[in-house]
Amino acid sequence: MKTRIFLLMSVFFLLCLSVAQAQEFGKIRALQQRAAYVTKIKNDFVARVLTSYKIPHDRNEQGVVVRINMDGKLQDITKIEIVPVLKESADKRQYVAAHELYFYTADGILDLVSELTIR
């Protein structure tokens, strides 16, 4: 009798574990898809800002801006920072009014401010 209960409990535990793993896999996949979507939006925003300033740039196959034209020379980008510029409304709420973008290269930093929306 104890053996049957033990086997039944083992089967039940294994079934529950496999269902839980499938749910976690679904959550992980959804998070990965969301991360890819957000990254694409960010990369497209950076390219739109550079285009609005008429700054020539190169993107790689993933859409990441990898080079910009600074001082008539194509520079490799080592890092890009996007910093929201906050303003306060009449009712004291803060909102994002613009974004400041910093493009780091070996020869210096290009600092741009854009009121374009990210989405």
The letter for the amino acid at 105 is T
- Strand residue runs (E) in 1-119: 57-59, 65-70, 73-88, 94-105, 108-114
Question: Which tens digits make up the pLDDT trace of 26-42?
Answer: 778 888 899 999 999 99
Question: Which tens digits make up the pLDDT trace of 50-99?
Answer: 999 999 999 999 999 999 998 889 999 999 999 999 999 999 899 999 99
For strands 73-88 and 94-105, give the pairing.
antiparallel
Q: What is the mean pLDDT of the chain?
A: 87
